[in-house]
């Protein structure tokens, strides 16, 4: 072996040892142990100083101070051209924005997480744009499948990080039908906070008449078991609005680990998301 190669190998080995040591050090600081010994949620879950998020173009800042978690969200709304051309009045647009803000704020509350009280506050500062590129929330007339719904889960959603520019939220409507925008916005906000869906995609394909492809949906995302997400859990969608302490614990883990949190195993785990540690206690 020549000298240069030896040197390269020893540098590589040293790097591997350093990596091993740093992995061991971070594994030692288990948030649950910190909480159990009286530490705050901030001490347990903050993965670096200051804010988790808010860098660059991200419309959300997530702060953990003591036992208070704050989401400071500045969504910029864009209403699709069909609406701008007179389908909706300004008063109706303002009404939809109000319902969205109310949906985001329904995440507020006091939650018992790992036996400790965590206060969650959601501050929303909505804005509006006529430029779809600068929007963080797009309101569109309807989906290609013809039913009302929402979406954040593009590839960039699966690659979710708390400090990256977040994926755009799409909210669909076939207005003026009566659509419950509040629970729709509430569910999509869960994605913005780093949670995946709890409903199975096979069921969705069956519901739109694509039964023959339901196996593919179940492979992409099976339905979450009831013990992990109750039948009225907000991330099951369809107007369900129950937020559990487990959901909040998952958000804390997601921000700490910078990884989208799943309720079940799915193809998204291959892309870097993680089955939530909040379920393995
Ligand atoms: Zn969803």
257 CB contacts (<8 Å, ≥6 apart)? 47, 274, 277
Q: For residue 108, how far is its CA from the centre of ligand 1 (angstroms)?
A: 19
Q: For residue 8, how far is its CA from the centre of ligand 1 (angstroms)?
A: 48
Residue whose pair of structure tokens reads 């859990």 in the numeric block: 233
Q: For residue 267, how far is its CA from the centre of ligand 1 (angstroms)?
A: 15
Number of domain units in the chain: 1
Q: For residue 143, how far is its CA from the centre of ligand 1 (angstroms)?
A: 14
Q: For residue 186, how far is its CA from the centre of ligand 1 (angstroms)?
A: 10
Backbone phi and psi for residue 141, each to the nearest 5 degrees, phi listed first: -60, -50
Q: Residue 194 has what pLDDT?
A: 87
Neighbours of 124 (CB within 10 A): 18
Q: Is residue 193 part of a domain?
A: yes
Q: For residue 89, how far is its CA from the centre of ligand 1 (angstroms)?
A: 28
Q: Is residue 64 part of a domain?
A: yes
Average pLDDT on 184-189 reads: 90
Q: What is the pLDDT of residues 19-32, one digit of tens each?
A: 444 444 445 488 99
Q: For residue 184, how far is its CA from the centre of ligand 1 (angstroms)?
A: 9
Q: For residue 9, how far is its CA from the centre of ligand 1 (angstroms)?
A: 47
Q: For residue 67, how far is its CA from the centre of ligand 1 (angstroms)?
A: 28
Q: For residue 148, how far is its CA from the centre of ligand 1 (angstroms)?
A: 12
Q: For residue 187, how far is its CA from the centre of ligand 1 (angstroms)?
A: 6
User: Does residue 252 contact residue 276 with C-beta atoms inside 8 Å?
Assistant: no
Which helix (H) or strand (E) is 26 found in, with range? helix 3-28
Q: For residue 235, how far is its CA from the centre of ligand 1 (angstroms)?
A: 6
Q: Is residue 188 part of a domain?
A: yes
User: Does residue 120 contact residue 111 with C-beta atoms inside 8 Å?
Assistant: yes
Q: For residue 91, how far is its CA from the centre of ligand 1 (angstroms)?
A: 28
Q: For residue 11, how far is its CA from the centre of ligand 1 (angstroms)?
A: 46
Q: Is residue 90 part of a domain?
A: yes
Report CA torsion sign: 78, 79, 85, 89: negative
Q: If pLDDT is split at 50, 70 and 90, which confidence band does 97 have?
A: very high
Q: Is residue 9 part of a domain?
A: no
Least confident of 12-16, 198-202, 209-213: 12-16
Q: What is the pLDDT of residues 41-96, one digit of tens each?
A: 999 987 654 455 545 567 888 888 999 999 989 999 998 876 666 778 888 889 98
In whole angstroms, give the CA distance from residue 51 to residue 49: 7
Q: Is residue 210 part of a domain?
A: yes
In whole angstroms, give the CA distance from residue 96 to residue 88: 10
Q: For residue 33, how far is its CA from the centre of ligand 1 (angstroms)?
A: 32
Q: Is residue 216 part of a domain?
A: yes
Q: For residue 87, how far is its CA from the centre of ligand 1 (angstroms)?
A: 27
Q: For residue 182, how far is its CA from the centre of ligand 1 (angstroms)?
A: 14
Q: Is the pTM of this model over 0.95?
A: no
Domain membership of residue 185 as a residue range:
31-279
Q: Is residue 21 part of a domain?
A: no
């Amino acid at each position: 072996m020549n000298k240069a190669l030896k040197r390269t190998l020893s540098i590589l080995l040293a790097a591997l040892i350093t990596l091993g040591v740093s992995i061991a050090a971070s594994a030692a600081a288990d948030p649950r142990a910190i909480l159990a010994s009286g530490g705050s949620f901030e001490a347990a879950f903050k993965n670096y100083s200051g804010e988790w998020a808010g860098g660059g173009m991200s419309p959300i800042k997530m702060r953990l101070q003591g036992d208070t978690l704050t989401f400071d969200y500045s969504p910029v709304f864009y209403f699709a051209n069909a609406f701008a051309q007179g389908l909706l009045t300004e008063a109706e647009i303002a009404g939809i924005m109000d319902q969205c803000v109310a949906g985001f704020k329904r995440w507020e509350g006091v939650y018992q997480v790992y036996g400790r009280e965590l206060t969650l506050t959601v501050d929303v500062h909505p804005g509006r744009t006529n430029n779809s590129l600068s929007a963080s929330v797009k309101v569109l007339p309807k989906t290609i499948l013809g039913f009302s719904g929402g979406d954040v889960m593009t590839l960039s959603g699966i690659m979710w990080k708390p400090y990256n520019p977040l994926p755009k939220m799409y909210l669909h409507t076939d207005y003026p039908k009566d659509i419950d925008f509040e629970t729709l916005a509430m569910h999509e906000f869960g994605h913005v906070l780093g949670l995946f869906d709890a409903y199975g995609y096979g069921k969705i394909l069956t519901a739109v008449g694509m039964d023959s492809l339901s196996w593919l949906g179940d492979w992409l995302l099976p339905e979450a078991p009831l013990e992990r997400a109750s039948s009225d859990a907000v991330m099951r969608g369809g107007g369900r609005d129950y937020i559990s302490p487990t959901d909040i614990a998952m958000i804390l883990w997601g921000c700490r680990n910078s990884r989208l949190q799943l309720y079940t195993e799915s193809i998204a785990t291959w892309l870097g998301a993680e089955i939530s540690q909040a379920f393995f206690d």
